[in-house]
Amino acid sequence: MPLVVVGSVALDSVVTPTQTRDNVLGGSAIYFSYAASYFTSVRLAGVVGEDWPGEHTALLKAQGIDTAGLQIVRGGKTFRWRGKYLPNMNDRETLDIQLNVMDQFDPVLPETYRRCKFLFLANGSTKLQLKVLDQCQGPSLVVADTMDLWIRTEPNELRELFKRIDGLVLNDSEAKLLTGIDNLVQAGHIVREMGPRFVVIKKGEHGAMFFSQHETYVLPAYPTPDVVDPTGAGDSFAGGMMGYLAERDNFDPKTLKEAMAYGILVASFTVEDFSLDRLKTITREDLDKRMTDYKRMLSF
């Protein structure tokens, strides 16, 4: 089943304790699309400026990602984000953010995108996420991501969004900010009671927690020793998870758990290099091999 994603498309600059990269391919929708493309056909919607290197679009197309929904604004500049990781490689600080063309982005989904059954609203303003949702005709599964910025600046829109989505993916600090509760198990259920049928709390190097009415569980991260750049891990997690659900055309509890595991495994590859550099080198077989190791690791 095809999967539609709308989110940021960026040129990122990343500073880690040992290395720096400037203006590399990034953005929530980019990591998501590439991660999901191992499982299903992906339709990407976003916006870039005239400075967007054509080779990035070529890379996405070569992976089978549909870029018909990627708007190019003449005379505009692409969204830019600059972040710095602390020595623990888990916490980061945003050094600079330039919304550029994202500021005025008015998403208009191509006709083929509107009838999609699987929709992911990647990190971006909640107002924008709602506009996209309005254009989709009866999707079966809608999952959204959000972040502290929108929790602070668009709380009313977020409440509306929660009532219209099936799943929400957010990280641990965002769940605490949203609920005012430090205990993540309580926070996860409180977020679920705000509307989504299931909630996933990402915990970086500690894996991810799942909450539905009948289930609460945690899956650990795959313990890769080669963490080079954690940027995009959360978006790759969501891409792997949604890609697998779309591939299966199913989101029952068992499939959701398998999907969480695939999300964790794609993210474990993403962090092994900057930008999409590690993902570009792997195939579905590599993911399946890591899945075998992961299952072995979890059986006792």
User: Measured from the CB atom, is 144 or 233 closer to ligand AMP?
Assistant: 233
| Binds ligand AMP (CB under 6 A): choice among 46, 69, 124, 196 | 124
Q: Does 235 bind ligand AMP (CB under 6 A)?
A: yes
Answer for the pair 122, 5: CB distance below 8 angstroms, yes or no: yes
Measure the CA–CA gap between 126 and 83, rounded to whole angstroms.
22
Shortest reach from residue 37's CB to ligand AMP, in Å: 16
CA dihedral sign of residues 108, 231, 284, 245: negative
Q: Which residues contact 17 (CB under 8 A, 6 or more apart)?
A: 85, 86, 87, 89
Q: Does 221 bind ligand AMP (CB under 6 A)?
A: no
Please list every residue from 20 through 39 that binds ligand AMP, using CB under 6 A.
Answer: 26-28
User: Measured from the CB atom, is 28 or 33 closer to ligand AMP?
Assistant: 28
What residue type is assigned to position 76 of the chain?
G
User: Measured from the CB atom, is 250 or 272 closer to ligand AMP?
Assistant: 272
- CA end-to-end span of the chain: 35
Q: Does 231 bind ligand AMP (CB under 6 A)?
A: yes
Q: Does 49 bind ligand AMP (CB under 6 A)?
A: no
Q: Does 149 bind ligand AMP (CB under 6 A)?
A: yes
The dihedral over CA atoms of 189, 194, 197, 203, expressed in degrees to the nearest 10, equals -50
User: Measured from the CB atom, is 20 or 213 closer to ligand AMP?
Assistant: 20
User: Measured from the CB atom, is 1 or 147 closer to ligand AMP?
Assistant: 147
Shortest reach from residue 200's CB to ligand AMP, in Å: 13
Shortest reach from residue 221's CB to ligand AMP, in Å: 13
Helices (H), 136-226: 148-153, 155-164, 172-179, 184-193
| Binds ligand AMP (CB under 6 A): choice among 143, 165, 209, 233 | 233
Measure the CA–CA gap between 247 and 240, rounded to whole angstroms.
10
Joined together, the tokens standing for residue 188 give: 């996860």
| Binds ligand AMP (CB under 6 A): choice among 81, 113, 198, 222 | 81
Shortest reach from residue 236's CB to ligand AMP, in Å: 7
Nearest CA-CA partner of 12 in 277, 248, 205, 298: 277
Of 129-137, 203-211, 214-222, 229-237, which segment contacts ligand AMP by CB under 6 A?
229-237
User: Measured from the CB atom, is 140 or 273 closer to ligand AMP?
Assistant: 273
Beta-sheet strands, E only, within the chain:
3-6, 10-15, 20-26, 42-49, 66-73, 79-85, 92-98, 118-121, 141-145, 167-171, 198-202, 208-211, 216-219
SS3 assignment, position 7: coil
Of 6-14, 41-49, 203-211, 213-221, which segment contacts ligand AMP by CB under 6 A?
6-14
Nearest CA-CA partner of 236 in 90, 42, 32, 44: 32
Q: Does 123 bind ligand AMP (CB under 6 A)?
A: yes
Answer for the pair 252, 293: CB distance below 8 angstroms, yes or no: no
Shortest reach from residue 111's CB to ligand AMP, in Å: 26
Would you tell me which residues interact with ligand AMP (CB under 6 A)? 8, 10, 12, 26-28, 81, 123-124, 149, 231-235
